[in-house]
Amino acid sequence: MITATGLGSGLDITGLVDQLVSGERAGPDLQLNRQSSRYSAKFSALGSLKGALSSFQSSLTNLNSVNNFGKNTATSSDSAKVSATASASAIPNQYSIEVSQLATSHSLASAAVADADTTTLGTGSITFSFGTTDYVEGTDTYNSFDLNAGKSSVTIDITSGNNTLEGIMAAINAEDFGVSASIVNDGTGFRLLLRSEDTGGENSMAISVTDDDLDNTDVSGLSLFAFNSSATNMGQTAAASDAQFTINGLSVSSATNSTTTAIPGVNLTLKEETTSPLNITVAQDTNAVVNAMNSFISGYNGFVTTANNLSAYDAENNIPSALVGDFTLRSVEGQVDNILRSAVSGLSGSVTTLSELGVTTSATGTLSLDSAKFLEVLKEYPEDVKHMFTAFATSGDEDVSFKSASSATVVGSYAVEISTLASSGAFTGSGVLPDFAMGGSVTIDSDNDDFTIEVDGVDAGEITLAAGTYSSGAALAEEIQAKINGSEALREVGKTVSVSYDSGSDSFTITSDTIGSTSAVNMLAVDTNSAAQLGFSAVSGVDGVDVAGTIGGIAATGAGNVLAAAAETDAEGLNLIIDGGALGSRGDVNFTRGIASQFDELLEAILAEESALNSRIDSYQDRIDDVADRREELELRWEAVRERYTAQFNALDTLLGQLESTSSYLQSQLDNLLKPNTGQSS
């Protein structure tokens, strides 16, 4: 229905109603607008403060990490020939390097066969061992082989399904144990090429076979691939050799062309032989710390600038900023300033305040860094600078070291007492071995070469030792260790053992290379004569144990050699590494927090979900939402008022229209009565 207003009276009823409603709502609208503006300004200002604090916290990340302190760099005068990198433990110095020989890997080639895919070569197994070979290539003289106990022996089974050159190559490569196999056709036939992937004299290959034709040394069947003291049926194409070089004139050798042991903390990569000395310079890497410091100052200055803007007062125009006098902002500024101005508690070094690092404060509260002074202090006192910023703990006991702490850890001194030291699981055999020093020996054969062992709960499967006569307890221990560590099941999970020979007790001990309560070595099954000749019986070894003790007088939790402070104590989150030493009191560990750590802890609390800052932001959001709700309610009210006024004015307009009509009728009647009578009577 369309309703027209003002038709009876000619009045602009819509305009009149608009003016009346506008006048009536002016006061409430003004109040809501003022509230909305005030709440929005506070909400936005507190949000800006939160953003500045979050950015400040992010700027602390690198300065709060101990990994960014104490770094070193290594530069080479000719990196194409020798390159270098340095760790934090390297000592700044300069070294003269000359390389006379690069490390090489061992390579062998088989005799030629007619076809790589169809010529069958027998069945059985091929066993690869690694060590130092004394072999004279020109005379084909194999003098000796010393097993590398650090590398596992690997046995490849050859069946009727893979007993071709192609099949053997595929089987070797599938094991992925450090030997690469390939096939070439040299014009006389197809040859299997084998290359040890590891360089160095101690990584040459010794290959023995178990040939189903019962002859392991002839030149038919799998014996074609033998290369050991009994048969050299494969030809040596490249001998394994160590790298030879000098450091400041001192002769050094390395099994690899990349060595971390020649210069402690420095990784040298030898690329080419040299004709003249080149220089390696190790120096302190200050870039990471300087960049972290600049990031911290930038983050802090961003917070200060934001805080200043939010609390500024425009006296000329009498306009205050949104957070002038705000208690939350004042509280945050006070806490931040307290950390910045105070010396770090617990520091006893040469650097305890930011000013000593070249940091100055401007009139507006922002920071600036004297880079030259900072670098000077950093180079002279790197540990003190690190402690100025990071969380750390110190101990007078060299076997007690700091691992980590959490935001819950309270600064303080905590007594450490150890009741149990961590240990590894181990199996010790019976003392039945002969006196090797007096000429004794052990012969490994089919009656004592197999055993099954479990390491850290992982069944290593059946271990088979290489047959032969061992006249050294250490040599047999190396063979046992190599074969256990060669277990595929153990290699898949990264488990290893160490095997030692004790001449005093004439026994072997097999020790897990892990430490703690998960460390264990158990003998599951043995061969017929293993107990009598090797001292191996199917019994469990002694399990490892975790470190145990107290931190701050309260029982701590051990995991391996790491002792963790109890929860809900002042030391909560403190983790210490106990590397050995005596039982009982181990002195005090003093924990403190550097400036970056303190700031991070403070900001973590300020920005927490349930913090006062977030509660205030949420409160202003609720008020803004409430104003919006009230505005919607008033809009409905004003619509109802508009409808009422419109209805009233329309009724009045109708009445006025009726009165106008009546007035016109009466006027017409009066006009008729007053007209003169012009008619004549008859």
pLDDT confidence of residue 680: 52
Query: What's the pLDDT at 37?
Result: 77
Q: Tell me the per-residue pLDDT of 204-215, one tens digit each, with 9 for 90 and over.
A: 999 999 999 889
The most confident of the ranges 147-151, 544-548, 647-651 is: 544-548
pLDDT (0 to 100) of residue 2: 39
Angle between helix axes 287-310 and 327-341 (nearest 10 degrees) is 150
0.75 cut: is pTM over it?
no
Q: What is the pLDDT of residues 450-472, one digit of tens each?
A: 999 999 999 999 999 988 899 99
- Are 237 and 227 in contact, with CB atoms under 8 Å apart? no
With cut-offs at 50, 70 and 90, classify the pLDDT of residue 5: low
Q: How confident is the model at residue 543 (pLDDT cuts 50, 70, 90)?
A: very high
pLDDT higher than threshold 80 for residue 176? yes
User: What's the confidence (pLDDT) of residue 148?
Assistant: 85
The yes-or-no verdict on residue 228 having pLDDT over 70 is yes
- Which residues are CB-neighbours of 262 under 8 A, at least 6 positions away? 247, 252, 254, 268
Report the candidate in 189, 156, 49 with the shortest Cα–Cα distance to residue 613: 49
Q: What is the pLDDT of residue 211?
A: 92
Q: Residue 10: what pLDDT?
A: 63
Burial 323-334 (b: 16+ CB within 10 A, else e): beebebbeebbe
- For position 658, what pLDDT does the model report? 77
Mean pLDDT in residue range 108-131: 94
C-beta separation of 247 from 103 below 8 A? no
Give 370-384 pLDDT, tens digit per residue: 999 999 999 888 888
Q: Write down the domain spans for the chain.
A: 72-103+243-284, 107-238, 393-422+546-593, 426-533
Q: For the segment 180-193, what is each residue's pLDDT rounded down to a tens digit?
A: 999 999 999 999 99
Over residues 423-442, mean pLDDT? 95
Tell me what pLDDT residue 310 has. 92
Chain-wide mean pLDDT for the chain? 90
Judge whether residue 537 has pLDDT over 90: yes
Amino acid at 568: E
